[in-house]
Amino acid sequence: MTDDPEVAALLRTLAPQVLGVVARRHGDFDRCEDAVQEALLAAAAAWPVDGRPDNPAGWLVTVASRRWTDLWRQDNARRRRERLAVAEPEPPPTPEVDDTLAVLLMCCHPSLTPASQVALTLRAVGGLTTAEIARALLVPETTVGQRISRAKQRIRASGATFGLPQPEQLPARIAAVLAVLYSIFTEGSTASSGATLHRTELSGEAIRLTRELHRQRPADGEVAGLLALMLLTDARRPARTGPDGALVSLAEQDRARWDRAAIREGTALVRQALRDTAVGPYQVQAAIAALHDEAGRAEDTDWPQILALYDLLDALTPGPMVTLNRIVALAMAYGPDVGLRALAGVQDDPALAQHHRTAAVHAHLLEQAGNPMAAREHYRLAARRTLNLLERRYLESRAQRLDPASDSPG
């Protein structure tokens, strides 16, 4: 949007607040979102040159309202029934009501597909342009534009009005927001495809938005748990790749490179949430991440406690990745043969059978059990299945290391 990082950060912070003001004034989320996006682009072009206005939020509301008026008049002219003139709004004060949560909930409306929820959240709440979202998600700009357009059409067709839902609907809607934010973070933390492991523009934005949600809902244990999980996971990012860009496994990482401030913050968040609120899946995952981060060495990791937490997580939200991660913890706590037997019991699960992580875990356990030839073949299988080039190179290097021919003199 702009090369000025301070202006970019300010615009992303103000984007949902301004959208909330304009949507409350005009009641048309679709047209209002377009108008605010154009106001953000105008600010990105003008502010680095002309300087920031005294009231940045008011400036954006004014420009967005003018653009909404233009769009409204154009629509009505096409239908030949423009009935009233809309006065130019005076620059309003900075909004006293923060509508960030309402905008988040609208972007994660249950009528939308997950992909559309992600795209609309990044644009309407994150303040990213369609082009920026496309680059971050590694999809064509036209695809992102179509997702956003379809999302707004679905919202309009649903008859949803801007504002907070009824209290009895709020927990389910907040859960949808958390799922979208975690999806954005996960894609940024370990990209599902492409030549890089991290997309920090996504993981960083997910952390920022979750931190904002936590500010608005400080007593929500799962919001705190998700923020803690993100911080504790992202703290390891500096050590996840080596100087040559190669992937480094958790056990082999230089833990001195981990972000200790993020670890302290994430650990404090999850401890308080577990102490003061009902236990939820994000809190349990954050507790697992904290146990990894608190271990000074890989061999100091409290695997029996991690296994117990995975048992709890499996009871709360069973799923294929929970099953696979529990098997890893089981093997680390009680030996690779125990893990291999457990893995054999889930090999027919369709969600796991063709997943590259299943083959990678199988390879690791076979290697630990002293069967390098079988491990090598499973590393190669895992490498063929992953779409992330960095992961593929790592898995291929593990296979190559177990190839007897690699030890022969050249």
Is residue 331 included in any domain, yes or no? Answer: no
pLDDT of residue 366: 97
Q: Give mean pLDDT, residues 92-108.
A: 73
Number of H helices, E strands in the chain: 19, 2
Confidence of residue 50 (pLDDT cuts 50, 70, 90): confident
Q: What type of residue is 170?
A: L
Asked whether the beta carbons of 214 and 227 are under 8 A apart, the reply is yes
Q: Are residues 138 and 197 in the same domain?
A: yes
Residue 94 has pLDDT above 50, yes or no: no
Q: Are residues 197 and 258 in the same domain?
A: no
Q: Are residues 209 and 230 in the same domain?
A: no
Residue 332 burial by Cβ neighbours in a 10 Å radius (0-12, 13-18, 19+): buried
pTM of the model: 0.81
Phi, psi of 387 (to 5 degrees): -100, -5
Q: What type of residue is 343?
A: L
Residue where a domain stops, chosen among 21, 46, 78: 78
Is residue 27 included in any domain, yes or no? Answer: yes
Residue 14 burial by Cβ neighbours in a 10 Å radius (0-12, 13-18, 19+): buried
Task: Dump pLDDT digits (tens) for 265-291.
Answer: 999 999 999 999 999 999 999 999 999
Q: Are residues 111 and 208 in the same domain?
A: yes
Is residue 26 included in any domain, yes or no? Answer: yes
In the three-class reduction of DSSP (H, G, I as helix; E, B as strand; rest coil), residue 34 is classed as helix
Q: Are residues 124 and 73 in the same domain?
A: no
Instruction: Choose the weakest-confidence range: 79-83, 139-143, 299-303.
Output: 79-83
Is residue 276 included in any domain, yes or no? Answer: yes
Q: Are residues 43 and 150 in the same domain?
A: no
Q: Are residues 19 and 72 in the same domain?
A: yes
Phi, psi of 247 (to 5 degrees): -70, 140
Is residue 274 included in any domain, yes or no? Answer: yes
Residue 382 has pLDDT above 90, yes or no: yes
Instruction: Choose the weakest-confidence range: 111-115, 193-197, 312-316, 350-354.
Output: 193-197
Rounded to 10 deg, the angle between the 29-50 and 56-78 helix axes is 130
Q: Give mean pLDDT, residues 287-301.
A: 96
Confidence of residue 235 (pLDDT cuts 50, 70, 90): very high
Instruction: Choose the weakest-confidence range: 20-29, 73-82, 239-248, 316-325.
Output: 73-82
Q: DSSP character for 247?
A: B
Q: How far separated are the first and last CA of the chain, in Å rounded?
A: 52
Q: Are residues 204 and 227 in the same domain?
A: no
Residue where a domain stops, chosen among 15, 47, 78: 78
| Distance from C-alpha of 232 to C-alpha of 148, rounded to nearest angstrom | 31
Task: Dump pLDDT digits (tens) for 254-266.
Answer: 999 999 999 999 9
Confidence of residue 77 (pLDDT cuts 50, 70, 90): low
| Distance from C-alpha of 98 to C-alpha of 104, rounded to nearest angstrom | 12
pLDDT of residue 91: 47
149 to 19, 78, 130: CA distances (angstroms): 16, 20, 11
| Distance from C-alpha of 205 to C-alpha of 173, rounded to nearest angstrom | 20
Instruction: Choose the weakest-confidence range: 1-15, 186-200, 389-403.
Output: 186-200
Q: Tell me which residue has tokens 């593929």.
A: 392
Instruction: Choose the weakest-confidence range: 15-29, 188-202, 333-347, 395-409.
Output: 188-202
Q: DSSP character for 245?
A: S
Closest CA to 229 of 293, 162, 164: 293
Residue 225 has pLDDT above 70, yes or no: yes
Q: Are residues 178 and 258 in the same domain?
A: no
Q: How many domains does the chain have?
A: 3
pLDDT of residue 78: 53
Q: Average pLDDT, whole number, for the chain? A: 87
Q: Are residues 110 and 73 in the same domain?
A: no
Residue 340 has pLDDT above 90, yes or no: yes
Is residue 285 included in any domain, yes or no? Answer: yes
Closest CA to 105 of 150, 155, 63, 62: 155
Q: Are residues 36 and 129 in the same domain?
A: no
Task: Dump pLDDT digits (tens) for 316-334.
Answer: 999 999 999 999 999 999 9
Confidence of residue 23 (pLDDT cuts 50, 70, 90): confident
Residue 82 has pLDDT above 70, yes or no: no
Is residue 59 included in any domain, yes or no? Answer: yes
The fraction of the chain above a pLDDT of 70, given in percent, is 90
Q: Are residues 17 and 72 in the same domain?
A: yes
Is residue 213 included in any domain, yes or no? Answer: yes
Measured at the CA of 83, the angle between CA 80 and CA 85, to 5 degrees, comes to 115
> In terms of pLDDT, which residue wins out, 277 or 1?
277
Closest CA to 183 of 122, 249, 260: 122
> Which structural domain, as residue segments, surrounds residue 20?
5-78
pLDDT of residue 406: 61
- Which residues are CB-neighbours of 59 under 8 A, at least 6 positions away? 43, 53, 91
pLDDT of residue 303: 97
